Amino acid sequence: MSRFHKSVVVLLSLCTISLIMVVGLGFFMLVSTVDGKEYKRSDFFHYFMLTPERFMTFPPVSDDIVYYSKADDNYGYTTDIIRWNKVKDIPAAEKELINYFRNNGFTERTNGVVWSTYWSNAKPGVCPSEQYTVVLEYHAISVELITGSDEC
């Protein structure tokens, strides 16, 4: 076997191994979020694989942040949540998040998939596939994202 043929065999082997690893990683991510996965930023792997890009740009209303991701629930929706715990001033944090949405082109809408009111940056008249809402708790505040994986 010539040197060229050996190189081709090695290259094909590496490509096959890489493909198997990518498919395996995708399967692992699907399986690990079917029942929901709670994680923190220190969980490097899940943070960078599961966290929606928008969640990485929210203003930090607390240092205690927990993320949650749940895969498609067979109704065509995925759920992602960012929750800030130990928030000292809930009304100020809510105002900061609402200003964030407004400053980034989101509008408040009614009659959402899950919530009666939600935030969306889709054009009026277009079914928004991403719907965000702010949820207030006693010493915590969260932003929940429902993403439609099917058409509206």
Predicted local distance difference test score (pLDDT) of residue 94? 92
Residue 56 reports pLDDT greater than 70: yes
**pLDDT recorded at residue 7:** 81
Average pLDDT over residues 79-93: 93
Of 22-26, 85-89, 115-119, the poorest mean pLDDT is in 22-26
Q: Is the pLDDT of residue 72 over 60?
A: yes
78: confidence class by pLDDT, cuts 50, 70, 90: confident
Rg of the chain, C-alpha, whole Å = 20
Check pLDDT > 60 for residue 152: no
CA 149 to chain centroid, in Å, comes to 13
Q: Judge if pTM exceeds 0.85.
A: no
* pLDDT at site 81: 94
Cβ count near 60 (within 10 Å): 9
Copy the structure tokens of residue 121.
């940056």
Question: What's the CA gap between 122 and 96, in Å, rounded?
Answer: 21
**Which tokens hold the place of 82?**
């960012």
> What is the token pair recorded at 13?
């082997």
Q: How far apart are CA 56 and CA 35, in angstroms?
A: 23
> pLDDT tens for residues 116-138?
678 887 776 666 678 888 998 88
Q: Are 82 and 113 in contact (CB under 8 A)?
A: no
**Higher-confidence residue: 135 or 15?**
135
